[in-house]
Every structure is written in structure tokens, then in C-alpha cells.
Amino acid sequence: MATGRTMFEKIWSRHVVAEGPGGRVLLYVDRHLLHEGSTHAFGRLEKKGRRVRRPEACVATADHYVPTAPDAGEIADSEIRTMVADLGRHTRRLGITFFGRGELRQGIVHVIGPEQGATQPGITLVCGDSHTATHGAFGTLAFGIGSTEVEHVLATQCLWQLKPRVMRITVSGARPFGVMAKDVILAIIAKIGAGGGVGHAIEYAGPAIRAMSMDERMTVCNMSIEAGARSGMVAPDETTFVHLEGRPYAPHGAMWDRAIAYWRTLPSDPDAVFDREVTLSASEISPTVTWGTSPQDALPITERVPDPASVGDPARRASMERALAYMALAPGAPLAGTAVSRVFIGSCTNSRLEDLRAAAAVAKGRRAAVPAWVVPGSGLIKRAAEAEGLDRIFTDAGFEWREPGCSMCVGINGDTAAEGERVASTSNRNFEGRQGKGARTHLMSPAMAAAAAITGRLTDVRTLAR
Amino acid sequence: MEPFVRLSAVAAPMELPNIDTDRIIPARFLRRPREAGYGPLLFHDVRFAGDGSERPDFVLNRPAYRDARILVTAENFGCGSSREMAVWALMDYGIRAVIGPSFGDIFFENCFKNGVLAVVLPAGPAAGLRRALAERPGAILTVDLEPQTITAPDSASLRFEVDAFRKHGLLTGQDELALTLEHLPAIEAFEARRRGETPWLD
């Protein structure tokens, strides 16, 4: 019996090169994105004397380790300096396009791929970074891989993969006032859990997803891994095509028409069957913050810190107690009003132009009560934001306007919070130590983070509405 | 890659769910060269206090579990970042097998690329194993890959599933690249077809 196929199935089956043992398939990789973390793999490849199969399929940028201070100059830490320099050396040696420091196109790898049009519907895309799911916003089968796999893709342009199951998450209705894409994905993760998507590729669907801009879809897909899923996708549509047209790597002329015709065949067929279906109503989602040390620990800002004593499962209770001790939060205390030490607006989740606009709209004409950083996702975004005057809005409000990079999302480039500091952050992980040893992270949307900067406390951004 | 065939060793239980790879290896250590060794950095910030002394309450610091070469974990172990250094740290410390009800997908894959056996057991038996190891600290588990069995401290035998591809890789220690290169003609044929169907990607 012929049944409809999911978008995932269509892209997957088109990329199968060979069948292997144990149900494995050799999957072809159309696009490979690289960053400083890839230097381990480049080094091994060089040692073995292996060539890169398709240098033209690769795009590299420096993001994880670059300093983002406005006047950073030479990188002070010699190990970091070497890592960034090594990426430049390897990419030059191998003929791989590299956007390095000082180059306008440099930025966070999951920002620049789409920005350059290297991320396209229907392709397979990998990167040695778990947030590679971001690119799924374009109807791309994109997933994060480890260092050995990076080496394997460089050498063969393929990967041995087991087919994941497919989960559709349908978000119905429309987002209420003050609710951003970040709130939608935090609500999804809270619902299905940090391990809810393990072994699955997710397709996000429904009117609330369809109504989203590309920047918003990227925010949603970006955090698929925070629900355990290696990939998360949105079917391409007119929004996707309009966004993509004219970008450097995008097809043009007659090729553009041919590409669009193919891309229109990608959405899941109406009778496609998914292994798992989850539904949410956008109208029930509120501005959200995390209170614990897993992204699943998310609640509406109007709620209180949960009480472990009310939880039956002993393992869950112990885990909550540990999280609350780390976060220095008391059960039953209102989330709103919790004092924060600093604010971080940036990361591959929320550093795009619309994110900066949303934060600036809250900051405009006000004054930050705590140190607040704004780190644009790329040099091009920084320039576009400056052309709109967003940088002035931020600096007039006492925010710091910085250079592009992963910055305080990842805690490896010198941008960290101090032990015990509480950070209102637009990043994607609130793990213990993620933003610096002993630092406490609350995840939230750019608008909510800007609101926290203004009041110095976790704040319902709707109360600052003008 | 070092093959994995059979391992009899002390196993340590870890009860916390969602232990992420940042906890297994904090990000600030990732720039260390592979040759420098990652063993001393495993679980660094929960294993050591600020002054570098061991935290006595951390499971691998307790005398009975110091020689553990197997971990029995809770749900979603190894979630989060794709950093393969999480597996390097386990490997360099001496951990060659992790057993749990579920794992982060990328971590799971990384284990098999480095000669670490990751075993998915249903939640009930996994919890039973953790309980048994907590009740008898220092107890030995035997993990035998060929017959796909785990022998528990009470001598009960549990069978586990592992796909043939990963099993073969671990038993022989062969990396995947050699196998892939056998498929070179298929890769070339694929690229030729792709040039025809989606020429804008070339």
C-alpha cells in the first residue's frame, strides 16, 4: 500500500548512497560547516595524509573561541590564538572558504550558513556542533556530529547513519502578545522533556510555526537537541524562498526556478504517518524562563519555583533538589523578581536581527540596571543592526554592544560569568557551569532578557509594554 | 580504535538523569590536545572542589568505586553538546562501557567511534542494576559483547541489543573509514546523479 511520505523521508531516501550492515545506510552530505572545534579533525586528517573530498562543500568560520570585546585586538590566550590560527591554516591549505576574524561575513556558524544561503531546502547539512538542527528551519536535514564524524565527512562526504524515527510537533493557534519563538520552543521542551526527542527527527508544523519568520523558525529548530533530537525541521514555503533568494550561495536565474520546483515537493504529504505526534496550543504559551539546570525546567514567568517535595518520583525529586541548590532558588518563591547579576543577548539561538530588534524595543529609552551584553550573530547582522540604529539604542540604555561570536553561551572564549552570578540569557543551555564555573543561567527570549536588564530582575516583559 | 570484546570490572551507579556533556567535560578544557589525555578532567567540576581536592561524595571518589570501568546511568546520559571529548575523558579515565535507559544521540554515536560500548537497557532493569551496585559498592559487572550479555552482581544475566554494524566495529576495532572507502564507486555514482538532478549544489 502506498502511503504518503514525510519531508524527512523524502530527503533521507534521496541521500542514501549505499546500504550497510545492521540497517545502516551511507548517507551523502551536501554541506559541511566547520569552526575552530573542527581543528582536532583537521589535524588527524593531515597526520594521515588524507585529502578532503569536496572542499567546495565546506564553509568555515571562527565563532566558538573568538573574543567578542569591542577592542579585543590580538587574542591573549595562546592556546585559543593557536586554535583560531589553525583553522585559518587548515582551511587555506585545503581550499575551504573561511570567514575569519575581522571579516564581515564572520559569525556564529549557525547564523552564517543561512545568511550566506549555504543552507538550503532538501539538502543534508552537518557540523560538529549539536545546534546544527538550526538549519532545519529551511527544510534542511541538518544534524550535529562528533569529531570522528567530522573527519569522516571531510574524507568521504558521507556518514554511516541509522534512520531515526520521526516526530511531528504541531503548534496550533497564534502566539499571544509578548510570546516569542523562544517561548514556544521552551514550552515544547518542557512538555516532551530533555530526552523526549532522543532517537527522533522532529518536524515542527501547524499555524503558529507557519506564521513564523525564518529567524523565528531558526530559534525553534536550534533547540531541538535540547529536547534530545538531533534534527528539527520546518517545511519550506514562500517565507523560506523569499528569505533565501539572492543570497551568495543560493541558486539564481534558471537554476533558482528549478530549485524552487524541487523544494515545493519537499513538504510532508497530507497522508504521511509520523512515529509520534505531539500537539500544543500557542495561545496557552506565556513568556517563559527556566528555573533549573536542564532546558526542560521551564515555566511561565508568572509561576513560582517548583517544590521538589510535591514530586512523587524520588529520582526526579533528587534531581530538582540538586538543581535548586545549584541555582540558589527557594521552592515556592515567585520567579518574577528574582535578582540577576548580568544579561546576555546572543548565541546561535537568539542573535539574529529580529532578536536584536525585539530586545532593542524593550531597551529603548530605558536604562540597564545590571551589566548587559548584546552579541550579534555575525558581522553582517552587526552592520545591519547599526544601520537601523539598534546599537545606539542599546548603548544609550547602558548595554554593551560587542563583536560577533558564541561568547557567553559556551564558556570557552573568555566570555564567562563569575561563580555564583545569575545570568538572564538568550542562549540554549542552562547546564551547571555552562556559562562559567558556578554560574547560574536562566534561559529566556531576547525581549525577556532585555526586560531583566532594565529591572535587574526576572521580569514579565508584558509589564513593560508601552 | 581499541576493540571491545568482554569486560569484567567494578561498575559505578549514577542516579541523576540528564547528565550533560558539559558536566562530563567542562568546555574550558576542550582546546587541550588529544595526546595530553582527558582522564583527569572527567566530571571535573563535580569530581573536584575549587582547591583541586576530591569531593568525597562524588561516586568515583568513593573507595569502592575508584577502579570503576563501567558506569550504569539514568535517562539521557550524555545529552547536550556534541563534544567527543566527553567520550575521550571516559576512555582516558578507564571507563569502557556505559549502561543506561537512554543516551544523548550524538554522545551515543561518539562512544562507538572510540571503542566505548554504550548499552541501552529498559528503564526497569537499568534501575535494578543501579540499585544492586549501590547496595553492594564495588561489585563487579561483566559485559560480554559477542553474546550481548551483562552479568549482574547476583549472577543474573541480562541480554542487551546492539546493532550489527556497531557490534562489528567494536569487536574488531575497525574504524568506519575503511568500510566507506569500499563504497567509493557508489559515492561517485551518487555525485554524478546529484549533478544531474540538483546541479545548483555543485
B28 and A411 within 8 Å at the Cβ level: the answer is yes
B34 to chain A: which residues are within 8 Å by CB? 40
B26 and A437 within 8 Å at the Cβ level: the answer is yes
- Closest chain A residue to B75, measured at CA: A195
Does residue B185 lie in a domain region? no
What burial letters (b/e) apply to A72-110, b meaning 16+ CB within 10 Å? beebeeeebebbbebbbebbeebebbbbbbeeebbbbbb
pLDDT in tens, A339-390: 999 999 999 999 999 999 999 999 999 999 999 999 999 999 999 999 999 9
Q: What pLDDT does A207 receive?
A: 98
Q: What pLDDT does A21 receive?
A: 84
Top residue of A38, A42, A126, A156 to mutate, by most chain B CBs within 10 Å, is: A156
SS3 A296: coil
Does residue B192 lie in a domain region? no
A411 and B26 within 8 Å at the Cβ level: the answer is yes
Does residue B186 lie in a domain region? no
Alpha carbon of B45: minimum distance to chain A alpha carbons (Å): 8
What residue ranges of chain B have pLDDT lower than 50? Answer: none
CATH number assigned to the domain comprising residue B82: 3.20.19.10
Query: Confidence band (pLDDT; 50, 70, 90) for A26?
Result: very high
Q: Report all structural domains of chain A as residue ranges with CATH numbers, in order of start.
A: 7-276 (3.30.499.10), 289-464 (3.30.499.10)
Alpha carbon of B66: minimum distance to chain A alpha carbons (Å): 23
Cα A387 to Cα A103, A306, A380, A391, B71: the distances in Å are: 18, 44, 10, 9, 54
B45 to chain A: which residues are within 8 Å by CB? 432-433, 437
B167 to chain A: which residues are within 8 Å by CB? 22
A322 to chain B: which residues are within 8 Å by CB? 16
Cα B173 to Cα A142, B4, B5, B169, B180: the distances in Å are: 28, 7, 9, 5, 15
| Cα–Cα distance, B191 to A374 (Å, whole number) | 43
C-alpha cell at B182: 569500499
State the ipTM, two decimals.
Answer: 0.96
- Note the pTM of the prediction, 2 decimals: 0.97
A410, pLDDT greater than 60: yes
Does residue B85 lie in a domain region? yes
pLDDT in tens, A206-226: 999 999 999 999 999 999 999
Helices A446-455 + A353-363 axis angle, to 10: 30
Q: What is the mean pLDDT of residues A61-71?
A: 94
A160 and B176 within 8 Å at the Cβ level: the answer is yes
Does residue B145 lie in a domain region? yes
Does residue B106 lie in a domain region? yes
Does residue B180 lie in a domain region? no
Which of A195, A258, A433 has the CB atom closest to B75's CB atom?
Answer: A195
Q: What pLDDT does A1 receive?
A: 53
C-alpha cell at A147: 569529531
The verdict on A315 touching B (C-beta cutoff 8 Å) is yes
In chain B, the number of structural domains is 1
Does residue B116 lie in a domain region? yes
A2, pLDDT greater than 90: no
C-alpha cell at A134: 538550526
B103 and A198 within 8 Å at the Cβ level: the answer is yes
A3, pLDDT greater than 90: no
B105 and A198 within 8 Å at the Cβ level: the answer is yes
| Cα–Cα distance, A284 to A359 (Å, whole number) | 23
Q: What is the mean pLDDT of residues A309-318?
A: 92
Per-residue HEC secondary structure of chain B comes to CCCCCEEEEEEEECCCCCCEHHHHCCHHHCCCCHHHCCHHHCCHHHHECCCCCECCCCHHHCHHHCCCCEEECCCCECECCCCCHHHHHHHHHCCCEEEECCECHHHHHHHHHCCCEEEECCHHHHHHHHHHHHHCCCCEEEEECCCCEEECCCCCEEECCCCHHHHHHHHHCCCHHHHHHHCHHHHHHHHHHHHHHCHHHC
Alpha carbon of A86: minimum distance to chain B alpha carbons (Å): 12
- Closest chain B residue to A153, measured at CA: B177
* Domain span holding position B142: 6-174
The mean pLDDT value of chain A amounts to 97
